[in-house]
């Protein structure tokens, strides 16, 4: 077992980390000791493990993390993309780290335990930095004693600017591991409290299991039915009120003998087209959709949306890239195909499917005859920022940006106003195939049919993009970022 060496007065606090709870409690207290060697086992007290107060341990996100996926990342039963999905971790949702194993992280979030790809989450100090730029995650401090003084500065001699009582919750602005103080905010007043007077935690949304997701969808369907019934009731009440008003008008018309006959004729003239419309409506009934049952593998001829019903206006539930295969379970008479999409019944328009497996072809990259084109100018400009940092949610080409922020800022320099996310950028301009790519074109990547990344094609089979925290802005091969969802040309 590893050893920790303690020197007299070398540090001023220790962080007591309680595992298995959400949020995690971090309780800091002053420490003085003589120099001796002590093992982790020596420090195991009532199920708590005391660690040296490094910045990582002092962080509210120690052994914690949050999702940075644009929509969500799947939680797998085993560390493999082919493993069964047990839940979804939406953007900003948090988790407890059970074990980190390179490309996969073993986590616990809500009722879900499993593995997530490390590419779509951040942990520890990185999670703390991301949390500062989102409202989905908050740090808090719970007062654990009465009459706690809030100081103007991190000093015993500083002026008292406010007080807080037991169980009161304050916003955490910073945990200062090298001192005995935590910076907090109480009702707009910023100050410092002693570490031993508070427990610091993190509040965030948990993962959603596949069963909970199905329950949410069912509840949404029930709510939609309830809303429809309520609307029908309202329309019925309005109709009845209108009929009562008509009856009142008829009674008044009877009192006016000269106008009665004229009003009755007008009423009959208004009712006749209404009755004709009602009869026509009753005659026109929407026939049920006939589906021929099949079981066969088909391939996408182009990038295509997967929808929840056999209708172009139905909700999009995912997508297939060109050449990707899927199991077709039925052929609809209206030109759609019923498919098994990740274990769920969904629909794809049959015009985008073929039963012939496409042959793999080596892409041929068409390069422009001259480097003076606007597309090449965009690439040359983008190369100036190689090596600059990646920051999730950022748009600064020098101080930090994410993939879609990089594309947006590069094109803005040439007078193009692109939307903010890679999903919305994926429909800008016009579509081109991989073998038609030219410098300056956009390459959009997906994971399991969902758009996750975007890059700028730089020529010779390469792209420039803001990749991740570790690499920043880099130039790599076209296949570096995974499956290509589609390609778009902004500059013609």
Cα 420 from Cα 432, distance rounded (Å): 21
Superfamily of domain 374-489 in the CATH hierarchy: endopeptidase domain like (from Nostoc punctiforme) (3.90.1720.10)
* Interacting residues of 169 by C-beta distance below 8 A, sequence separation 6+: 140, 141, 142, 143
Distance, CA of 450 to CA of 468 (rounded, Å): 18
CB crowding 123-147: b at 16 or more within 10 Å, else e: bbebbbebbeeeebbebbbbbeeee
Query: What's the N-to-C CA distance of the chain in angstroms?
Result: 63
Res 440: pLDDT: 96
Three-state DSSP state, 58: helix
Are 487 and 449 in contact by the 8 Å Cβ rule? The answer is: no
CA distance 326 to 147: 64
Q: How far apart are CA 154 and CA 70, in angstroms?
A: 39
Q: How does the average pLDDT of the chain come out, rounded? A: 80
| CA–centroid distance for 283 within its chain | 46
Contact 29, 14 (CB under 8 A): yes
Q: Are 381 and 393 in contact (CB under 8 A)?
A: no
Whole-angstrom Cα distance, residue 161 to residue 144?
A: 19
Burial class (CB in 10 A: 0-12, 13-18, 19+), 117: middle
Task: Give ranges for CATH 3.90.1720.10 in the chain.
Answer: 374-489
CATH number of 291-354: 2.30.30.40
Q: Tokens standing for 256?
A: 């006016």
What one-character-per-residue DSSP string does 351-417 give?
GGEESSPPPP----PPPPS-TTSHHHHHHHHHHTTTTPPB-TT-EETTTEE-HHHHHHHHHHTTT--
CA 394 remoteness from chain centre: 16
Residues 29 and 195 sit within 8 Å (Cβ to Cβ): yes
Are 337 and 353 contacting, i.e. CB atoms less than 8 angstroms apart?
yes
Residue 335 pLDDT: 92
3-class DSSP assignment, residue 33: coil
Q: 213: exposed, middle or buried (C-beta count within 10 Å: 0-12, 13-18, 19+)? A: middle
Burial (CB count within 10 angstroms: exposed 0-12, middle 13-18, buried 19+), residue 228 = exposed
pLDDT of residue 177: 62
For residue 164, list its beta bridge partners: 148
Per-residue DSSP letter, 234 = H
pLDDT of residue 18: 32
Rounded Cα gap, residues 70 and 374, in angstroms: 30
Q: What confidence score (pLDDT) does residue 402 get?
A: 96
CB-based contacts of 106, cutoff 8 Å, min separation 6 = 79, 97, 98, 99, 100, 113, 114, 115
Cα 254 to Cα 262: distance, rounded to the nearest angstrom = 11
For residue 198, which of 11, 29, 19, 14 has the smallest C-alpha distance? 29
Asked, as a colleague might, if the bond just before 269 is cis with ω within 30 of 0, I would say no
Task: Enumerate residue ranges in the chain where pLDDT < 70.
Answer: 1-59, 135-139, 177-178, 253, 255, 259-260, 262-287, 360-372
**Interaxial angle between packed helices 210-255 and 257-283, expressed in degrees from 0 to 180 and rounded to the nearest 10:** 150
């Amino acid at each position: 077992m590893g050893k920790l060496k303690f020197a007299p007065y070398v540090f001023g606090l220790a962080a007591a980390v309680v595992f298995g709870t959400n949020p995690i409690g971090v309780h800091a207290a002053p420490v003085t000791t003589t120099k001796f060697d002590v093992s982790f086992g020596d420090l195991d007290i009532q199920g708590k493990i005391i660690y040296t107060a490094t910045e990582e341990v002092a962080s509210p996100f120690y052994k914690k993390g949050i999702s940075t996926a644009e929509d969500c990342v799947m939680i797998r039963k085993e560390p493999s993309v082919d493993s069964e999905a047990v839940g979804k971790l939406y953007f900003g949702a948090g988790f407890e780290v059970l074990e980190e194993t390179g490309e996969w992280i073993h986590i616990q979030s809500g009722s879900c335990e499993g593995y997530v790809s490390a590419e779509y989450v951040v942990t520890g100090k990185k999670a703390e930095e991301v949390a500062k730029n989102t409202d989905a995650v908050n740090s808090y401090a719970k007062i654990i004693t009465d009459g706690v003084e809030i100081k103007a500065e991190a000093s015993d001699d500083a002026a008292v600017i406010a007080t807080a009582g037991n169980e009161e919750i304050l916003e955490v602005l910073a945990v200062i591991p090298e001192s005995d103080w935590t910076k907090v905010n109480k009702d707009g007043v910023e100050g410092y409290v002693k570490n031993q007077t508070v427990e610091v935690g993190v509040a965030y949304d948990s993962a959603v299991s596949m069963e909970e997701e199905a329950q949410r969808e069912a509840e949404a369907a029930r709510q939609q039915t309830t809303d429809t019934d309520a609307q029908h009731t309202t329309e019925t009440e309005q109709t009845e009120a209108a009929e009562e008003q008509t009856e009142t008008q008829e009674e008044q018309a009877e009192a006016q003998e000269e106008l009665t006959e004229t009003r009755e004729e007008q009423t009959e003239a208004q009712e006749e087209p209404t009755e004709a419309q009602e009869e026509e409506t009753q005659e026109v009934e929407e026939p049920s959709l006939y589906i021929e049952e099949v079981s066969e593998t088909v391939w996408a001829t182009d990038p295509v949306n997967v929808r929840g019903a056999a209708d172009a206006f139905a909700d999009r539930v995912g997508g297939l890239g060109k050449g990707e295969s899927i199991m077709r379970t039925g052929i609809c008479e209206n030109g759609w195909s019923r498919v098994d999409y990740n274990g769920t019944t969904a629909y794809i328009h049959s015009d985008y499917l073929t039963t012939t497996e496409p042959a793999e072809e080596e892409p041929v990259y068409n390069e422009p005859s001259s480097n003076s084109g606007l597309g090449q100018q965009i690439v040359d400009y983008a190369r100036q920022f190689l090596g600059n940092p990646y920051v999730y949610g950022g748009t600064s080409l020098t101080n930090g940006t994410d993939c879609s922020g990089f594309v947006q800022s590069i094109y803005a320099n040439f007078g193009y106003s692109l939307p903010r996310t890679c999903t919305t950028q994926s429909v800008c301009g016009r579509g081109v195939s991989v073998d038609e790519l030219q410098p300056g074109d956009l390459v959009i990547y997906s994971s399991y049919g969902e758009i996750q990344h975007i890059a700028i094609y730089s020529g010779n089979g390469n792209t420039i993009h803001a990749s991740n925290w570790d690499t920043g802005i880099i130039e790599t091969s076209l296949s570096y970022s995974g499956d290509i969802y589609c390609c778009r040309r902004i500059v013609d």
